[in-house]
Amino acid sequence: MLRSLANRISTVFFLLAGSMMLFGATITAKADDSNENALMGAGAHFAWIVFDALKEDLERATGRDTILFGENSMLGVGCNAGIKAAKQSTIGHETFGFVCCPLSDEEIEKHQLIVYPLAKEPVLILTHKSNPVDDLSVDQVKGIFRGDILNWKEVGGNDEPIVLVTRLHCKKRPGHWKTILPSDKEFRQERLNVKSASAMVQRINDFKSAIGHTGSTWKFKHDDQVKAVKVGGVAPTAENLKNGSYPFYRQMSAITSRNPTPDVLKLIKEAQTGPAFRRVAEQYQLLPLNPMRQVSMKK
């Protein structure tokens, strides 16, 4: 009788286990199916904002789902993650990357990448809204970041010590903050060095005498007490980037491996030349680096 009972329990157990395995396999298959059909991108937060804004247009252009990673690059997702995503692309698992800074030639060669420039992005010089200084010359900006100028009164402001906030990321890549000072060694030592753009904005919110920098593709909150000053009387706009009057900027790009799939190429092409990107660029004062493709008026 006991043996019969044990057999029955074993049967029920194996049936349950089998059902669960089948169920789990179905879910995994569904997840895999959805991932297999998607084009996945990862990279820097600033570029992510652009791609995220374009997501629907990109999916329409490729006919495939697009999955993006990069919001709030604090969690190990940044330019390096973009490079990694570009390298990992395989058939059936098509990925691409996006970076907020221009890559060095050595880096491109080392990782066997193709870079697809998207836009130039102004690097904003941020101060607290209460700071009366609205305009700084290039030299004044450099002097402040270098530590030559320590008080706002030296540039026409209040008699307040300058609190310098920096985010010296992507140190081995050209461009970006290096347009202010070419080396992190040149920056003033008594500074707040933050790890993220949000921390940068928060510090400037906290210190009324702070100055910092960040890309223009940042979604400021309505209660942020932060403003971008003009540099040499020039506002950080796409137009001023285009005419070369605004000096601080960086280049935003998409990157792929050396053998990108047609759909990835199609996606990047749409990002580079599609009309949607133009709207996003206008919103964030980005200067597109590729001409917009001709759009048929027929709909």
Partner 1 sequence: MLSTYRFRLIAYTILLVAFLTATLVYTYIYSRNVILEEAENSVTNTALLLNGNIEMEENELLHYAEIVRDDLRIKEYVFMIVKVGTDEEALESLYSRHYGWLPVKRRIILGNNGRVLLGSEHQDLARALVNHLEISSKPIFYTQSGKGLEMITWAPISYQGSRLGVVALTHAIDNVWLKKHQQYSGGYLFIENDSVILQSSLPGAEGEKFELNSGLLDVNEESYQIRPIVLGGSNDNIAHLWYGVSMRDLLEKLERHSRIVLLLTLSGAFAILWMGLIIVRNFNRPLTELIHITRAVANGNLPVMNQTQEKNEIGILSNQFAEMLQALREKQEEIDRIHQELEESAITDSLTKLHNRRYLQEIFPRLLAQAQRDHLFLSGILLDLDHFKQINDRHGHLAGDQCLTHLAHLLRETSRANDYVFRIGGEEFLILSINDSHEGSRLLAEKIRSSLEQSPTAFKDTIIPITTSIGVSHADTSLPPDEGLTNLLYNADKALYQAKTKGRNQVRMYLQMDDHAPSAWDYVS
Binding mask 121-150 for partner 1 (x = CB under 8 A): -----------------------------x
Say if strands 113-128 and 249-257 run parallel, antiparallel, or are unpaired: antiparallel
The distance of closest approach from Cβ of residue 165 to partner 1 in the complex, given in angstroms and rounded to an integer, is 9
Site for partner 1 in 22-41 (CB under 8 A): none
**Judged by CB under 8 A, which stretch of 13-21, 91-99, 205-213, 279-287 contacts partner 1?**
205-213
Answer for the pair 42, 99: CB distance below 8 angstroms, yes or no: no
**What letter would DSSP give residue 31?**
H
- Phi, psi torsion values for 14, nearest 5 degrees: -65, -35
Contact 38, 64 (CB under 8 A): yes
- Residue 166 or 261: which CB sits closer to partner 1? 166
Binding-site size for partner 1 (CB under 8 A) equals: 14
Q: How many residues does the chain have?
A: 299
Residues 150-179 interacting with partner 1 (rule: CB under 8 A): 150, 160-163
Q: How far is the CB of 160 from partner 1 (least distance, A)?
A: 7
CB closer to partner 1, 222 vs 298: 222
Query: Measured from the CB atom, is 162 or 255 closer to partner 1?
Result: 162
Tell me the closest approach of the beta carbon of residue 211 to partner 1, in angstroms: 12
Instruction: Quote the tokens at residue 117.
Output: 């420039």
Distance CA 176, CA 169 (A): 9
CB of 40 to partner 1, least distance (A): 34
Residues 180-199 touching partner 1, rule: CB under 8 A, are 190, 192
CA distance 151 to 144: 9
The residue written with tokens 């007490």 in the block is 225
- 96 touches partner 1 (CB under 8 A): no
Q: Does 209 interact with partner 1 (rule: CB under 8 A)?
A: yes
Of 201 and 286, nearer to partner 1 (C-beta) is 201
Report d(CA 39, CA 166) in Å as an integer.
34
Rounded Cα–Cα distance for residues 167 and 122 (Å): 15
Nearer to partner 1, 38 or 149 (CB): 149
From the CB of 159, what's the least distance to partner 1, in Å?
A: 10
In angstroms, rounded to a whole number, what is the distance separating the alpha carbons of residues 228 and 216?
9
Cα(160)–Cα(175) distance, integer angstroms: 31
* Cβ atoms of residues 166 and 191 within 8 Å: yes
Q: Which stretch binds partner 1 (CB under 8 A): 88-96, 173-181, 200-208, 256-264?
A: 200-208
Query: What separation in angstroms does the CA of 114 have from each of 40, 97, 103, 187?
Result: 17, 10, 10, 32
Q: Which is nearer to partner 1, 158 or 243 (CB)?
A: 158
Q: Considering the complex, what minimum distance in angstroms separates the CB of residue 192 from partner 1?
A: 5
Give me the residues that bind partner 1 (CB under 8 A), please. Answer: 150, 160-163, 190, 192, 203, 205-210
